[in-house]
Chains A and B, each alone.
Chain A
Amino acid sequence: GESVGLHLPTLSVQEGDNSIINCAYSNSASDYFIWYKQESGKGPQFIIDIRSNMDKRQGQRVTVLLNKTVKHLSLQIAATQPGDSAVYFCAGCSRYSSASKIIFGSGTRLSIRP
């Protein structure tokens, strides 16, 4: 079955620098890949998604890159701020009719050094 996993459980970045969080997936069943952010004591929050037939998508201060050849995706956060401290999950989503099934990776905890 589908699985997604993150490369590093933790990542420490200097405030103001760019952060890159990497993720790998096992097969190509997902129609979309999604990044979620989870702050301490809260539920996950949608950041950005990318359709499986795309290579790159940009949002506000975030960019997601998808490399289907090596089954790898990454989330880049520009000019990392203290508010970016959280656990980041990549996820694969399969959709059919009105059904939607998301498989989450294990998460990377991003901490920001002042």
Chain B
Amino acid sequence: DSGVTQTPKHLITATGQRVTLRCSPRSGDLSVYWYQQSLDQGLQFLIQYYNGEERAKGNILERFSAQQFPDLHSELNLSSLELGDSALYFCASSAGTSIEQYFGPGTRLTVT
């Protein structure tokens, strides 16, 4: 158990809809990262937050947004969903800017 929790575990929704994925980092970790894992694209970095502020951006679509709250939990919002957004979404956390990131169990999103 990494100490990172993600909810929900599974999510099935229709095209055009909007969903919110939630992540609670390990106790004390200030950095939260979001990743998308799909069969054709592999594991892709989306975005990083550090102590409530956006710090780094990867291949995150404009339809996706994230935020980190004062209690350090984070949410990833996915809107106008398309079939191609079906994937595993992982959250990870690290202590400050440590290289070692701890990954949560993931949320499996299926868009039908």
Contacts and interface: CB of A to CB of B under 8 A. Distances in A.
A49 B100 contact: yes
B14 interface: no
B9 to A, nearest CB: 10
Give the contact-size bracket for chain A.
20 to 34
B102 A46 contact: yes
A61 interface: no
Contacts of A107: 42-43
Given A99-B50, A102-B45, A107-B42, A42 B105 contact: yes
Q: Which label, helix, strand, loop or mixed, suits the secondary structure of the B interface?
A: strand
Interface residues of B, number: 27
B56 A43 contact: no
A104 B50 CA distance: 21
Contacts of A49: 99-100
B55 interface: yes
A42 B4 CA distance: 12
Given A42-B105, A104-B44, A99 B55 contact: yes
B92 A43 contact: yes
A98 B55 contact: yes
Interface of B: 2, 4, 31, 33, 42-45, 48, 50-51, 55-56, 58, 90, 92, 94, 96-97, 99-106
Interface of A: 32, 34, 42-46, 49, 89, 93, 95, 97-107
B58 A101 contact: yes
Given A98-B55, A101-B45, A101-B48, A46 B97 contact: no
A37 to B, nearest CB: 11
Contacts of B51: 98
B56 A100 contact: yes
Nearest to B57: A101
B91 to A, nearest CB: 8
A50 to B, nearest CB: 10
A101 B48 CA distance: 8
Task: From B2, B43, B102, name the one whose CB has the most chain A CB atoms within 10 angstroms.
Answer: B43
